[in-house]
Chains A and B, each alone.
Chain A
Amino acid sequence: MGGLLDSIRWALRGLSRIATVDYPAVPDSEYSEVEYIRGRPVLDPDKCTACGACASDCPSDAIEVGIDDEGAYRKYFVDRCMFCGRCIDVCPEGALKSSNEHIHVHGAGEEPVDIYRFETVKCLECGRPFAVPLFLKVVGERLGENLDESVRELVLVDYRHYSRICPDCKIKLNLKVHPGKYMVVG
């Protein structure tokens, strides 16, 4: 009997208000849940180190992080994004935040793409752009935290120099400094 009374009560409540959602959606209105849902993730460029964790973990390949001749870049293809929030979870710097922008309707040939270009450090040896300054700074800080006090200063002095050299040149330099330490194959 209680169930029936509840049903009648709900039915009467339905009579006293409008159930239809407004169009266009009004975020503050009583009937719209827009503020509680996941939308496109927004990048904070001051925190991003262009490490590429978001790009490698994106299930639908919506993010591209890379380096070309002009420097490091991050592209975000809204059309490919499924708003799962995986990039927000994996970002080690907390540079991504969810927003409630979920309506990205567009016509043909108007695909929204967010492109952000970073300042890039050039290699001391070959002059090729290879990393973002914030990335080198963050790695240096983490390295300092995890090292024993007796060797910290020694390693960090080395890090400050070697972090400015690109990975390819680092291998060449290592072979020059420590001949016989590595076996060159091929």
Chain B
Amino acid sequence: MKWVKAFVYSPWVYHLHAGGCNGCDIELVAALMPKYDSSRFGFKLASSPRHADILVVTGPVPQHMKDFVLTTYEQVPDPKVVVVVGHCGISGGVFLWRDDENYAIAGPLNKLIPVDVYVPGCPPKPEAVMSGLVLAAKKLAEKASGGSGG
């Protein structure tokens, strides 16, 4: 197995469900469970955004979730990395066509907050989620050593 030089300590993950269908959430939890075992790289679910280093967002961000997403993002301490899982959060997906608008959707997520890692798929396989988390850990290490902050 190839070891990845990750963050100096174990990066904690906060999972934010922003109006998705629950598919990506199930895959994210599967990626943290023993079969896909992301804890071999030190990833751990945090129960509060104030304890987290990585914010994982799923779902297309409907209007009623917009304020919660912004508040949660502000609560994560610097340096932080935002990972968006699933094509809903990346581009709006089936809820939002290219160059179009939807009165119910405030997303895609990169309109609201800066996103560092994209994990496309509907839903992505746990292996893809795991690669996304590993990339996020690398970006977190860069941010921490560069001192640029979130």
Contacts and interface: CB of A to CB of B under 8 A. Distances in A.
A108 interface: yes
Given A22-B1, A64-B98, A79 B118 contact: yes
A20 B73 CA distance: 32
Interface residues of A, number: 30
Nearest to A24: B2
Interface in A57-84: 59-61, 64, 77-84
A95 B83 CA distance: 34
A60 B117 contact: no
A105 B40 CA distance: 20
A21 interface: yes
Contact of B93 (A25, A37, A60, A102): A60
A81 B118 contact: no
Nearest to B129: A105
A61 B124 contact: no
A103 interface: yes
B143 to A, nearest CB: 12
A98 to B, nearest CB: 14
B116 A21 contact: no
Contact of A78 (B36, B120, B131, B139): B120
A3 interface: no
Given A20-B37, A64-B98, A82 B122 contact: yes
Contacts of B124: 102-103
24 contacts: A20-B34, A23-B1, A23-B2, A23-B127, A24-B2, A59-B94, A79-B118, A80-B98, A80-B120, A81-B122, A82-B121, A84-B122, A102-B124, A102-B127, A102-B128, A103-B124, A103-B125, A103-B131, A104-B121, A105-B118, A105-B132, A105-B135, A106-B118, A108-B118
Interface of A: 19-25, 32, 34, 37, 59-61, 64, 77-84, 102-108, 111
